[in-house]
A and B are shown apart, each in its own frame.
Chain A
Amino acid sequence: MRLFVTSLLLLGLLAPGWALDDPPKKDEPPAKEEKKSPADEFKAIQAELSETQAALRTKYMATTDDKEKQKLLQENAAAMKELAGRCLKLAEANANDPIAADVLIFAGSRMQSQEAFKALADGFASKADLAALNAKLGRMRFFNAEPLCAKVVERVARQTDHPQALDLLIWVSNSAEYTPGSPAGKKAGELLFEKFIESEKLGAYCKSLANSRDAKSLERAEAIAEKSPHAKVKAAAVFAVAGINKNLSEARDLKEERRKELEGKAEAAYDRLLKEFAEADKALAQQAKGALNELRYLSIGKTIIDVAGPDLDDKEFKISDYRGKVILLDFWAHW
């Protein structure tokens, strides 16, 4: 579930850009040299980041003062900037060592360093062959890595018949998912659509489409739903069609007629998914059921379902106990 509070992201409470399977580091040999090896310096930076964030997080959770919280976030940002700077220097000094790419990936994903992404784009992503690129980047997912994504798409565009081209394009489209209007994401989408519409792997692309809210994505999802020969990809495409319509229907200040029209389209697509493709992708069918429930009973203009349950003192109550009053129902947590 997505958490909307970006400050948590900054504090590293969530680290979505993290390696999916960071390999465990081997035991370090007893280093006696005066100068740290690049690997040791990298380890030191990683350790420092963890410690700094843990300390700030503890303070952040302990305080109730909003100003103090702001101050802690600023401190966190400054510490990240400093550590990212050290990563950049380390990578620059060891440009020919494979560790340079790892260090920059770390700085980009954990400290949102745009300089690191730029350095990756100019170095590793410009020089390494596509197989090596895919091996290193494929298991990561980044936020705001536009310069890197742009370079990867540019390279893939020149050799779309390369065995790793498809995987890399899917990687770009997923990484660009949360960068609205990303030109790299757009280009990757175009190439996927033009060259790989019949691929079995296109489901992953469709899943990233499901979170978008533009006409082009909708058009593509509709076309894939029609043209893909694979039931599982079709399922993901229909899910995307539904999702995009639903996202569009949730725009603020929408005319009621238009909203209803979009909701109707979303509902029809979810229905189709459940009827035709429930077996092809069971997990997706579950999600579709939840979304359909939300559209039918929890959209604007509907009477709220009567939620009942225990309050924080374990006393049962229900929403309808408060009928006659305006209710602000707030899903909240401290975190």
Chain B
Amino acid sequence: MAMFPHERSLVKKLEGRPFVLLGVNGDPKEGLKEKNEKQGITWRSFQNERGGEKGSISTEFNLRGWPTLYLIDHKGVIRHKWLGGPPESVLDPAIEKLVKEAEEELGKKGTP
């Protein structure tokens, strides 16, 4: 809840760079669209409750609390994990470092 403004600005700040914010949303579906619009939540999210055999993503992840954040590098490796929202002073440099790594690798390959 307290994190929304910062998440909005992260998405904006890193536009055009190799970064994406993906969510796993734990809310009931009812009224969710309106709430998201109101809060300016534009990033893509999974529905936590997938139903059927797959069950919920939070169970699959053995989640112990909301929010929990995983920071994953461009190769798909988990590099950081935070139980509870990390302060901006921790989150931002961690993301910046990985985005730079991704950009350097992209640069080497010669892809623009």
Are A and B associated in one complex?
yes
Q: What is the interface of chain A, defined by CB distance below 8 A to chain B?
A: 1-5, 7-8, 64, 66, 250, 252, 290-291, 293-294, 298-305, 307-312, 317, 319-320, 322-335
Question: Is B66 a contact of A329 with CB atoms below 8 Å?
Answer: no
Task: Point out the residue from B1, B65, B74 that lies within 8 Å of A324, measured CB to CB.
Answer: B74
Question: Is A325 a contact of B19 with CB atoms below 8 Å?
Answer: yes
Interface residues of B in 15-50 (CB under 8 A from A): 18-27, 29, 32-33, 35-36, 38-39, 44-48, 50
Interface residues of B in 47-78 (CB under 8 A from A): 47-48, 50, 54, 57-78
Give bound CA distance, A282 to B81, whole Å.
29
Question: Is A7 a contact of B78 with CB atoms below 8 Å?
Answer: no
Q: How far is the CB of B18 from chain A (nearest CB, A)?
A: 5
The residue of chain A having its C-beta at the shortest distance from the C-beta of B103 within the complex is A326
Q: What chain B residues lie within 8 Å of A299 (beta carbons)?
A: 78, 81
Question: Is A64 a contact of B38 with CB atoms below 8 Å?
Answer: yes
Known: A4-B83, A5-B1. A302 touches B78 (CB 8 A): yes
Question: Is B67 a contact of A311 with CB atoms below 8 Å?
Answer: no
Question: Is B67 a contact of A331 with CB atoms below 8 Å?
Answer: yes
Q: How far is the CB of A177 from chain B (nearest CB, A)?
A: 14
Give bound CA distance, A167 to B63, whole Å.
31
- Write 14 A-B pairs (CB below 8 A) sorted by A numbering: A4-B84, A4-B85, A64-B38, A301-B77, A305-B60, A311-B44, A311-B45, A312-B32, A319-B72, A322-B22, A329-B22, A333-B67, A334-B27, A335-B66
Give bound CA distance, A322 to B73, whole Å.
11
Give bound CA distance, A320 to B75, whole Å.
10
Band of interface residues on B: 35 or more
Q: What chain A residues lie within 8 Å of B64 (beta carbons)?
A: 1-2
Q: What chain A residues lie within 8 Å of B98 (beta carbons)?
A: 326
Classify the interface of chain B: helix, strand, loop or mixed: mixed
Question: Is A304 a contact of B65 with CB atoms below 8 Å?
Answer: no
Task: Point out the residue from A66, A294, A311 that lies within 8 Å of B47, measured CB to CB.
Answer: A311
Give bound CA distance, A173 to B39, whole Å.
41
Known: A312-B33, A334-B1. A326 touches B74 (CB 8 A): yes
Question: Is A319 a contact of B62 with CB atoms below 8 Å?
Answer: no
Give 4 new A-B contacts, CB below 8 A, not counting A326-B73, A326-B74, A331-B48. A250-B83, A311-B45, A312-B33, A328-B20
Question: Is A330 a contact of B54 with CB atoms below 8 Å?
Answer: no
Known: A5-B1, A324-B102. A331 touches B66 (CB 8 A): yes
Q: How far is the CB of A266 from chain B (nearest CB, A)?
A: 12
Known: A300-B78, A332-B3. A326 touches B38 (CB 8 A): no
Give bound CA distance, A204 to B74, whole Å.
43
Give bound CA distance, A66 to B23, whole Å.
21
Known: A5-B1, A325-B18. A332 touches B57 (CB 8 A): no
Task: Point out the residue from B24, B38, B65, B106 that lies within 8 Å of A1, measured CB to CB.
Answer: B65
Q: How far is the CB of A34 from chain B (nearest CB, A)?
A: 46
**5 A-B pairs closest in CB distance:** A4-B84, A333-B26, A290-B62, A294-B62, A2-B65
Question: Is B58 a contact of A5 with CB atoms below 8 Å?
Answer: no
Known: A1-B63, A64-B38, A332-B24. A323 touches B46 (CB 8 A): no
Q: What chain B residues lie within 8 Å of A325 (beta carbons)?
A: 18-20, 74, 102
The residue of chain A having its C-beta at the shortest distance from the C-beta of B82 within the complex is A252
Give bound CA distance, A335 to B65, whole Å.
13
Q: What chain A residues lie within 8 Å of B36 (beta carbons)?
A: 312
Known: A298-B62, A326-B99. A331 touches B44 (CB 8 A): no
Q: What chain B residues lie within 8 Å of A302 (beta carbons)?
A: 77-78
Question: Is B95 a contact of A326 with CB atoms below 8 Å?
Answer: yes
Q: What chain B residues lie within 8 Å of A326 (beta carbons)?
A: 18-20, 71-74, 95, 98-99, 102
Task: Point out the residue from B2, B29, B65, B99 that lies within 8 Å of A3, measured CB to CB.
Answer: B65
Question: Is B24 a contact of A331 with CB atoms below 8 Å?
Answer: yes
Q: Is B7 an interface residue (CB 8 A)?
A: yes
Give bound CA distance, A250 to B5, whole Å.
27
Give bound CA distance, A301 to B25, whole Å.
25
Known: A5-B2, A303-B77, A326-B102. A311 touches B21 (CB 8 A): no
